[in-house]
A and B are shown apart, each in its own frame.
Chain A
Amino acid sequence: MMNYVFPVLLLLSFISAVATGRIDALSSAVIDGAESAVQLLLRLVSMLCLWGGVMEIAEQSGMTKVFSRLMSPIVGMIFPRLRKEKYALEAISMNITANILGLGNAATPLGLEAMRRLQDINENKTVASNEMVVFVVMNTAAMHIIPTTVATMRGQYGSAKPMEIMPAAFLTSFCALAAAIAVAKIGNRVKSSQDCKQRSA
C-alpha cells in the first residue's frame, strides 16, 4: 500500500507547491518532517514500553483472560473465525477496552501486540489476513465513548456546554465504525470468492 501512497503524496505535494508558489515551505518541510517523525517515535517509545510492561503483568496474572471473557460476546461476533484462538482474542479485547475507555496511548501498543498474534496464525506473512483488515479498520475509526480531547478543547474556547455534542459524536462514530467493519467484511468476502475461482480454474 505505502508503495503507492508514498509517491502519490510526494508528487502531489511537489506539484501543488510549485503551482501555489510554496516551494520554500516545501523545502523546509522535508527536513522538519523527518525531525517530527523522530519526536513522534520518542513519544511512542514511552507508551510502547509502559503498556508493554503493564500488559505483561495483566497477562501473567490472568487478568487479560477476564477482559477477554467480558468482551467475548462483541469480539466473537466481529471475529467469528478467532473463537478458538484465545491468545489473539485476549490482545484484541484489551485493545478494544482501551479504545472504549478513551486511552488512545494504550490502545496502540495493545493493538500492535494483537497484530503480532494475528500474524502468528496468518498463512501468508506478507499479506493481511481477513481478521487483520477488520481489526485495523476498527482502529482507524473512533471507538471511545467520551471524546475527551474535543470536549476539553471546546471548554478552552469558551463553550457553554462542551459535552453537548456527545450524543451526535456517539451516533456518528457508531455508524462510521459499523460501516467500516461492513466494508472490510464485504471486501473479505469478495476476495475469498475470487481465490476460490482461481483455485478451481
Chain B
Amino acid sequence: MPDNFGSYILPVMVVGIVLFGLVKKVKVFDCFMSGARKGLHTVYELLPSITGLVVAVTMLKESGAMEIVSALFAPVTSLFGVPDEITPMALLSPISGGGSLTLFESVLKTHGPDSFIGQVASVVMGSTDTTLYAVTVYYSAIGIKNTRHTLMAGLTADFLSLVLSAFFVRLTV
C-alpha cells in the first residue's frame, strides 16, 4: 500500500463514477449539471438555520460558558479516568467542529501527541462528529420541526466516546 493511500480514495471515486457512467452510455456532463443544480437549491434551504446556529455557537464560545460547564463536568469525567485537560475540547466537539479542533491543537502543543492526554484527546477527536450541526443541517434541509429524540441519542454517543476513549487507550496503546 503506498504511503499516500488516503489521497487515492477521492480521485478514484470521482473518476471511477464518471468512467462507469461513460461505459453505461450516460450523458455524464448533462447529468452532472442537473445534479449540481439540485445542490444549489439545498443551499438556499440551509442558509437561515446555519446562520442561526453559527451565531449562537460563536457567542457561546466567546462567552466563557464552556469553561464554566467544563468545570462542572470535570468531576464526572475524571470518575471514568478522563484527564481534566481534555474536558473543554470534548464538550465543545458536539457543538463546534472548528472550535474543538483549535482546542485539540493546543492540547497537542502543550502535552505532546504521544502523551496519555494527547492520545486520549486524539481518540476523542477521531471518534466524534459535530452532533448539533449534523442534526440542524439534516433536518432543516427538509423542513422537519420536531426532531424527537435525535439530539439526545447523538449526545449520549458523544458522552460515551469521551468515557470509552480513556479506557481503550489504556487497553490498546
What residues of chain A have their CB less than 8 Å away from a CB belonging to chain B?
Answer: 1-3, 5-6, 9-10, 12-17, 19-20, 22, 25-26, 28-30, 32-34, 36-38, 40-41, 44-45, 47-63, 101-103, 106, 108-109, 111-112, 115-116, 118-119, 125-128, 132-133, 135-137, 139-142, 146-151, 153-154, 157-162, 164-165, 167-169, 171-173, 175-177, 179-180, 183-184, 187-188, 191
Contact = CB atoms under 8 A, between A and B. Distances in A.
Interface in B53-70: 53-65, 67-68
Interface residues of B, number: 101
Contacts of A119: 142-144
Contacts of B17: 54, 57-58, 61, 63
A128 B172 CA distance: 39
A101 B42 contact: no
A187 B31 contact: no
A45 B35 contact: no
- The listed residue with most B CB atoms (<10 A of its CB), out of A29, A56, A119, is A56
A58 B138 contact: no
The 4 lowest CB-CB distance pairs between A and B, nearest first, are A56-B35, A147-B126, A33-B58, A52-B39
B113 A158 contact: yes
B43 interface: yes
Contacts of B9: 101-103
B157 A12 contact: no
B122 interface: yes
Contacts of A187: 148-149, 152-153
B144 A147 contact: no
A139 B138 contact: yes
B77 interface: no
B128 interface: yes
Contact of B153 (A16, A32, A183): A183
Tell me the interface secondary structure of chain A in the complex. Answer: helix
Interface string B111-124: 01110001100111
B21 interface: yes
Nearest to B111: A157
Contact of B62 (A25, A136, A139, A176): A25
A176 B43 contact: no
A171 B63 CA distance: 35
B3 to A, nearest CB: 12
B10 A103 contact: yes
Given A29-B61, A49-B40, A157 B108 contact: yes
A147 B127 contact: yes
Given A25-B62, A168-B168, 10 more contacts: A1-B139, A2-B52, A13-B65, A14-B63, A44-B46, A126-B145, A137-B154, A165-B122, A168-B169, A176-B127
